[in-house]
Structure 1
């Protein structure tokens, strides 16, 4: 199976201003392997891109990688809008 952590980091790190702040958290459900991408708040716009085009391209690449079994991969970009800080 593909190492999705490394794949996501290889795509994202060249795009951001603070590559050392790129982190990936995992979770798993009955249907999905979820990868939560966390970046420096200053880099969120770079990852999402205008009208979400960069985020969609990243997801297309990640989703096209092979996964064993019936589960699918889901990439969630943490934009920190849902946090109560």
Structure 2
């Protein structure tokens, strides 16, 4: 299986001012392999972009990678607003 942690970091790190703060946590559910992207709070706007265009582009690239099995990939950008 593709190393999605490295793929996401390769895409995101050049976009942010604090690349050392980029972390990814993996969570597996019944239907998804979820990747939770966290970064420095001052970089959230750079990741999301105007009207969410940057985030959508990142997701498009990540979701286009073929995955074996029935589970799909989901990228969640943790902006600190959602409490789980």
TM-score range, shorter chain: over 0.9
- Helix, strand or coil: the match of 1:66? coil
- After TM superposition, the score normalised by the length of structure 2 is 0.96
- Helix, strand or coil: the match of 2:20? helix
- After TM superposition, the score normalised by the length of structure 1 is 0.95
Displacement, 1:81? 1.1
Superposition pairs of residues 50-61 of structure 1, within 5 angstroms? 50-61=50-61
1: CA distance between counterparts of 2:19 and 2:66? 26
Structure 1: unaligned runs, 5 residues or longer? none
CA RMSD of aligned residues (A): 0.7
2:42 matched residue in structure 1: 42
Where in structure 1 do 4 or more consecutive aligned residues deviate above 6 Å?
none
Q: What is the count of residue pairs matched by the alignment?
A: 83
